[in-house]
Amino acid sequence: MALIELQEVSKIFGFGEATTLALDEINLSVEKGEFLAIMGPSGCGKTTLMNIIGLLDRPSHGKYLLEGRDSSRLRAGRQAKLRRDRIGFVFQFYNLLPRLNVLDNVALPLAYRGMTPVRRAKRASDILELIGLRDREYFLPKHLSGGQTQRVAIARALINNPSIIIADEPTGNLDSHDSKVVMELFADLHRSGHTILMVTHNPELTRYASRVIYMRDGMVVEEESTSIGAIAKGALRTYLRKRKTTEEDVLAGVSALLKDVPGKAMTSEPKAKPKSKSKKRSRRALRKARR
Amino acid sequence: MFSGNVKTAINSLRSAKWRSLLTMLGIIIGISSVVTVVSLGEGLKQQVVGQINSLGSDVLTVRPGKLVSDGSAKEKLNLLAFLSTSTLSEQDVTSISKLPSVGAVVPIDFVTNSASNGGQRLDNVSVLGTSSELNDILRPKMDFGGFFTKDNAGDNVAVIGAAVATQLFGGVNPIGHSVNVLGQDFVVRGAINPSAGGLISAQQTDLNYTVFLPFEPAKALVDGKVNISQILIRAKTGVNPDAAVADVQKTLLQNRSGTEDFTVLKQDQLLELTGGVVNTATGFVTGLAAVALLVGGIGIMDIMLVSVSERTREIGIRKAIGATNRQILSQFLTEGLALTIGGGFIGIIVSLLIFVLLRLYTGLHPVINAPVMILAVVVSIVVGIIFSVAPALKAARKDPIVALRGE
Ligand SMILES: Nc1ncnc2c1ncn2[C@@H]1O[C@H](COP(=O)(O)OP(=O)(O)O)[C@@H](O)[C@H]1O
Ligand SMILES: [Mg+2]
């Protein structure tokens, strides 16, 4: 039995003229212990897919089986509880609560389980110890570096001992050093048996994955199993063809994959590629392009 | 309920202190005015009850002005009666005295409201001309000396209240000193113990702030133009007070050939009357307070709706990590409750400050009791729940996907 099983899952946003088909009859199955990387241009439906798998959203059509149980039509309360107990989310922009200190942020999911404050704090402390941020317990998020903040967010995702960790562009906002630290943490988690789903624009990061899927226009267009440590061929192909992209751009997540996917490359390639000197500017352009 | 709610609520209110305080203003005003007025009314009722207990139930009061037998108009009429010239005359006193059903008859003649010790002057006193039989009716406990007697009927003597004694003579034995009223000196014969307290009418005449003079000398001070604010009567022992009321009623009607411009009250009726006055005032202020609470509640709802919009992302995050809609709802309800209960507590503190000021600068004695406090807290809770429901529902219903997309 697969941990995650999607059967012809579609997602439609909006009504009438403004309808968007964000997911188009996706079939996907993920086994326990896999590290799945999801790649694809902006707007192809990666986040929507993660939201459905993470029980933040429901499919418009099709079936979603989580641990063998149909989870596509759950009531909101049930969905929230499953989300709390089975899923750990990690976001690009960390999404810690700015007014809570590190310890309280990490412990927050336990509060929604009704655990006492003392036990919450103890458990959060243990997890922080594990990821090496015990000494930052009483810091506010704004006093941490990007890498530290994302590790705190990962600690929060781990605290309920979830079946699935969903990371949507977790390094998209980090520099190369911080990206590496965060990815090593994911690798550790993978080695210890966690199932990880990670959206990324950075081909380099497919090294950590056991399988890569490529999406375009709400469909999975290619799929590739990779050996740990090697960059996925599909990702590499595009990556090599678009060598003009600077190292910095790659690390910031602005890769050729943004506009292109292997196999079914788009016919009309937009020439205008942000050749920014600073990664800050390219990131801004990236965000703009996404809208 | 999510156990971190209260802490979360207090944290988020603290981060916007001024906004929270302004939001609470309506609640503070509403709660403090209700607590103040109800406590004042309670104090007044207790004073009247105290008087009835000390006077005994067989004491009747004749007051100027016709009170409608029932309905609310009577209280207003009565409150205004002492401002105008009394309709009671010396002749009424004399004719009542002749009735067989009546024991003691004591006129209370309001002379003026100021007295001095030659130098220092008090303007918040009641100088009353009365007869020595008042002593039999009031039976006041004396600190110094005693009440004047029949033999003093023509003398320039005075009996003073405890507050008058301390304010004019600084706590030393005032016997033999003089109080000056309208230019005439009166030798102090007695000073009443403060515990004697209480009223001699519903007009809030506090014994502590009273100067009693014998009737005739007091009358002479105002050239014979007496202003009898009430007549106290004790029914003869063994006589049914109701029979005495009927007799007094008949006599007074005869005196003024049928025009009923007076009221004869038994003590329990006086209590009822005071209760009526208090209830009218309480009702009026409660109405105003309800408006303040309504405005305050709407203010809270408004501010919370804004806050829910501002905290869309926070709500999205909380939902993503597993908060149910119900948990989000209770978080925001708790915040609303923290605002109104906080407002309620500040309101109670404000009214306590008002009490201190009232006791310092007026003769009013508000009495704080548990039911008023409980009422204030309950009202705060109810207002909090009613007006936080809409914002809390708005928060709970936010779609986490949309909430998280909004960067
Ligand atoms: N809540 C939503 N309402 C309307 N359209 C949406 C919503 N979420 C996503 N979309 C649309 O669905 C498509 C896929 O979006 P998304 O899953 O965010 O893409 P990706 O994460 O791959 O960049 C986009 O066209 C986006 O505009
Ligand atoms: Mg996305």
Mean pLDDT of A149-160: 93
pTM of the model: 0.68
**Under a CB-based contact definition with an 8 Å cutoff, are residues B125 and B115 in contact?**
yes
Residue nearest to atom 14 of ligand 1 (CA): A45
User: What is the DSSP secondary structure assignment for residue A211, as one 8-state letter?
Assistant: E
User: What is the DSSP secondary structure assignment for residue A207, as one 8-state letter?
Assistant: G
Cβ separation of B324 and A116 shorter than 8 Å? Answer: no
Which has more confidence, A249 or B6? B6
Q: Phi, psi at residue B158, to the nearest 5°?
A: -145, 150
| Chain A residue with minimum CA distance to B8 | A100
**Which pLDDT band, with edges at 50, 70 and 90, does A247 fall under?**
low
Cβ separation of A77 and B318 shorter than 8 Å? Answer: no
pLDDT at B210 over 80: yes
pLDDT at A270 over 80: no
Would an 8 Å CB–CB cutoff place A80 in contact with chain B?
A: yes
CB of A253 closer than 6 angstroms to any ligand 1 atom? no
- How many Cβ atoms sit within 10 Å of the Cβ of residue B366? 24
Residues of A in contact with B12 (CB under 8 A): 99
Ranking A84-88, A254-258, B49-53 by mean pLDDT, the lowest is A254-258
Chain B residues with CB-CB distance to A under 8 A?
2-4, 11-12, 15, 313-314, 316-327, 400-401, 404, 407
CA of B119 to the centre of ligand 2 (A): 89
pLDDT given for residue B8 in this prediction: 75
CB of A42 closer than 6 angstroms to any ligand 1 atom? yes
Q: Which ligand is nearest to the CA of A167?
A: 2
Domain locations in chain B as residue ranges: 2-48+276-405, 58-265
3-state DSSP assignment of residue A145 = coil
User: What is the DSSP secondary structure assignment for residue A18, as one 8-state letter?
Assistant: G
**Under a CB-based contact definition with an 8 Å cutoff, are residues B276 and B74 in contact?**
yes
Which has more confidence, A267 or B36? B36
Query: How confident is the prediction for chain A on average, in pLDDT?
Result: 83
Residues of B in contact with A164 (CB under 8 A): none
Cβ separation of B313 and A57 shorter than 8 Å? Answer: no
| Domain A4-290, classified CATH 3.40.309.10, yes or no | no
Burial of B118 from C-beta contacts in 10 A (0-12 / 13-18 / 19+): exposed
Cβ separation of B313 and A95 shorter than 8 Å? Answer: yes
Cβ separation of B317 and A111 shorter than 8 Å? Answer: no
Is residue B293 left, alpha or beta, with left meaning phi > 0 and alpha meaning psi from -120 to 50? alpha
CA of A189 to the centre of ligand 1 (A): 29
Which has more confidence, B287 or B388? B388
Tens of pLDDT, residues B287-341: 888 888 888 889 889 888 998 999 999 999 999 999 999 999 999 999 889 889 9
Which structure tokens are listed for A145?
Answer: 């570096």
**Which pLDDT band, with edges at 50, 70 and 90, does A211 fall under?**
very high
Nearest to A151 by CA among A186, A177, A123: A186
**Which pLDDT band, with edges at 50, 70 and 90, does A62 fall under?**
very high
- How many Cβ atoms sit within 10 Å of the Cβ of residue B236? 15
CA distance B351 to B358: 10
**Which pLDDT band, with edges at 50, 70 and 90, does A259 fall under?**
very low
pLDDT at A141 over 50: yes
pLDDT at A44 over 70: yes
Nearest to B198 by CA among B365, B34, B37: B365
| Chain B residue with minimum CA distance to A94 | B317
Domain locations in chain A as residue ranges: 4-290
Question: Edge to edge, what strands does the sheet with A219-225 contain?
Answer: A87-90, A164-168, A195-199, A35-39, A211-216, A219-225
Tens of pLDDT, residues B211-258: 999 999 999 988 888 888 888 888 888 888 888 888 998 999 888 888
CA distance A26 to A59: 10
Task: Reduce the secondary structure of chain B to three states and give it as a string.
Answer: CCCCHHHHHHHHHHCCHHHHHHHHHHHHHHHHHHHHHHHHHHHHHHHHHHHHHHHCCCEEEEEECCCCCCCCHHHHHHHHHCCCCCCCCHHHHHHHHCCCCEEEEEEEEEEECCEECCCCEECCCEEEEECCCHHHHHCCCEEEECCCCHHHCCCCEEEECHHHHHHHHCCCCCCCCEEEECCEEEEEEEEECHHHCCECCCCCCEHHHEEEEEHHHHHHHCCCCCCEEEEEEEECCCCCHHHHHHHHHHHHHHHCCCCCCEEEEEHHHHHHHHHHHHHHHHHHHHHHHHHHHHHHHHHHHHHHHHHHHHCHHHHHHHHHCCCCHHHHHHHHHHHHHHHHHHHHHHHHHHHHHHHHHHHHHCCCCCCCCHHHHHHHHHHHHHHHHHHHHHHHHHHHCCCHHHHHHCC
Mean pLDDT of A119-132: 92
**Under a CB-based contact definition with an 8 Å cutoff, are residues B51 and B199 in contact?**
yes
pLDDT given for residue A158 in this prediction: 92
Residue A144's contacts (CB-CB under 8 Å, 6 or more residues apart) are: A102, A136, A152
Which has more confidence, B375 or B362? B375
User: What is the DSSP secondary structure assignment for residue A98, as one 8-state letter?
Assistant: T
pLDDT at A157 over 60: yes
Tens of pLDDT, residues B111-149: 888 899 888 888 888 899 999 988 888 777 888 888 999
Q: Phi, psi at residue A209, to the nearest 5°?
A: -90, 155
Angle between helices B325-361 and A76-86 (to 10 degrees): 100
* Element housing A51 (H / E): helix A46-53
Query: How confident is the prediction for chain B on average, in pLDDT?
Result: 83
Residue B295's contacts (CB-CB under 8 Å, 6 or more residues apart) are: B26
Ranking A62-76, B36-50, B78-92, B269-283 by mean pLDDT, the lowest is B78-92
pLDDT given for residue A252 in this prediction: 55
Residue B59's contacts (CB-CB under 8 Å, 6 or more residues apart) are: B137, B232, B233, B234, B267
Query: Ligand 1 pocket check: which of A10, A17, A20 to mutate, most ligand atoms within 8 Å of Cβ?
Result: A20
Q: Which ligand is nearest to the CA of A42?
A: 1
Residue to mutate among B321, B393, B404, with most A CBs inside 10 A, is: B321
**Under a CB-based contact definition with an 8 Å cutoff, are residues A283 and A269 in contact?**
no
**Which pLDDT band, with edges at 50, 70 and 90, does B363 fall under?**
low
Would an 8 Å CB–CB cutoff place A84 in contact with chain B?
A: yes
